[in-house]
Structure formats: C-alpha cells, structure tokens
Structure 1
Amino acid sequence: MISKIAVLSCLLAVVLSAALPQQVAQEPVPIVSQEINVEPDGKFQWSYESGDGTKQEQTGEPKQIENEIGEAIQGSVSWTDPEGNQHSLKYVADENGYQPESEDIPKPPEIPAAIARALEYNAAHPEEEEKN
C-alpha cells in the first residue's frame, strides 16, 4: 500500500511539473510558508505556499486495512497556469485507491438511454445470460 502511495505521489509530482511553466534563467520562486508535523503514531501533516501562489497540503494517518497497516491520505493542490487560469485538485488515497477530484479532469459522456436500459435488463435477468 505504501509503495502504491509513493508511486501516486511521484505521478502527481510529474503531472504538476508538466503543468507548471518552465522557468528559464529566472529567479527561484520563494516559499512563503511551510509547515510539517509528524507524530510518533504515524500521523502527519504538511503544507506549503510559494510566492507564485501555488499551494499544497497533505495529511495522513496509519489505517488498519484487513490484515495490514496502510495509510489513509488526503490532500489538495492549487496553482495558476501560464495563461492565468486557476487550477485545483483534491485527492484521497486509501484502501480504495487514488481518488482525485478536479474540474480539470475530463468527464466521460453519459451512457445512451438505450444502452442503459439494456444494462439494467441484463442486471435484472442474470439467469438468461447463464443459459447462453
């Protein structure tokens, strides 16, 4: 579970680095505020805000998941793209996997009504599928 969270964190870092403008020969962006708190029981909380308005925060705690101890993590990040548009992402990572929420994540199209009815019929009549 921890390796999955580490992979997801790295993936998030790659996505954010691709989304942020590449700065060539510019001054480094200063960190305006930063907090880190790690408890002996495994709970943690960290956050930062940079001079360009980028903010990120994350909290987590150990969680019993079946026979193992995993982690339940939640966090958020917000930034402004080079065109001046605000973006934000909230996420949870726990026994149910990585669950991001953002207006920037594409939404799938709705299932056409005829297909939805067929799926409902199939779910209500599983015995007919077993015969075939």
Structure 2
Amino acid sequence: MKFLIVFVALFAVALAAHADTEIVRSESDVGPESYSYSFETSDGQSAQEQGELENPGSEHEAISVHGSYKYIGDDGQTYEITYVADENGFQPQGSHIPK
C-alpha cells in the first residue's frame, strides 16, 4: 500500500508540472481485498493498475500489483512501462529499459 501512495503522489507532482493538462478519463474501484484504477490525460499520458490481496489473514499476506503507464518523453517518443509489484519487488518492463 505504501508503494501505491508513493506512486500516486509522484504522479500528482508530475501532472502539476503540466498545469494545462486535463484528465480526460478516470476510473477506479476499491474493495476490501482488491483495487483497480485507470486514467488518461489530454497530453497522451495514461496509466492502469490492478492490485489484489494475496493470502489474506496469513503471515504471508501481501498485495500483488499489475499495471502499466505511458507518457510522451521530452524527445517526442512515447514510452510505455508494464510492471508487476509483488513479493519479488517492483519488476518494470519496457522496450527502452535495459535488460
């Protein structure tokens, strides 16, 4: 959950830098053991994420997250990152990320 809070806070700061950007679509669904959200902005940014509580009530309880985001870089290229965040840590993938 801390990851989600940090991610959302950092994204809010990034959006604030582009004050003329508008949110054109935003959806969310938060339940007791899962959540999902997605959004799209007028400047081509978008993100979506789903999280689910694994092993609820056990000592191995953890959140498993899958998502992606994309943005247009200063060089005009569109960058897209897909990721998993689970008991193995944050695992991003993208064509521009070294393997």
Q: Same fold (TM over 0.5)?
A: yes
Tell me, which stretches of 5 or more residues in structure 2 are unaligned?
none
Distance of aligned partners of 1:7 and 1:50 in 2 relative to their CA distance in 1, 3 Å threshold? closer
* Structure 2 CA distance for aligned equivalents of residues 10 and 32 of structure 1: 17
Task: Give the TM-score normalised by structure 1.
Answer: 0.61
* Structure 2 CA distance for aligned equivalents of residues 51 and 72 of structure 1: 29
Instruction: Please give the secondary structure, in 2, of the residue aligned with 1:68.
Output: coil
Task: Give the TM-score normalised by structure 2.
Answer: 0.79
Equivalences for 1:1-132 in 2 at 5 Å? Answer: 2-3=1-2, 5-6=3-4, 9=7, 13=10, 17=14, 23=18, 27-39=19-31, 41-64=32-55, 67-107=59-99
Q: 1:69, CA displacement in angstroms?
A: 1.2
Tell me, which stretches of 5 or more residues in structure 1 are unaligned?
108-132
Instruction: Decide which structure has greater strand share.
Output: 2
Instruction: Please give the secondary structure, in 1, of the residue aligned with 2:21.
Output: coil
